[in-house]
Amino acid sequence: MNFSRVHWDYDITNGKYSRKKDSSDNFLSEYNWIWSPQRVINMHQPEKWGYVYFEATPAEQKITPPQPKDVELIQ
């Protein structure tokens, strides 16, 4: 599972939004916020998404999530 937000800097001119540009008239790069570290700017790689586990074990007990093969688990 992953969540992503892409944000661009913008101006409002005459009530309309427009993306900001640099001095060469190129759009400024976007900001990307993600829930789990992907280490690439590409949300289309689900093998790099985080894992969500639902467990019926009481919260005071330590839970060790399953370790997916060939996937780095960040805790």
| Model confidence pLDDT, tens digit, residues 6-63 | 899 999 999 999 999 999 999 999 888 888 777 777 878 888 888 787 777 777 777 6
Does residue 72 lie in a domain region? no
What is the C-alpha end-to-end distance of the chain, expressed in Å? 15
Does residue 75 lie in a domain region? no
Determine the structural domain holding residue 11 and report its residue range.
Answer: 1-65
**Secondary element (H or E) of residue 13:** strand 10-13
Does residue 34 lie in a domain region? yes
Does residue 27 lie in a domain region? yes
Q: 45, 38 in Cβ contact below 8 A? A: yes
pLDDT top residue among 61 and 75: 61
Does residue 45 lie in a domain region? yes
Does residue 19 lie in a domain region? yes
CA distance linking residue 7 with residue 27, whole number of Å: 12
Tally of structural domains, the chain: 1
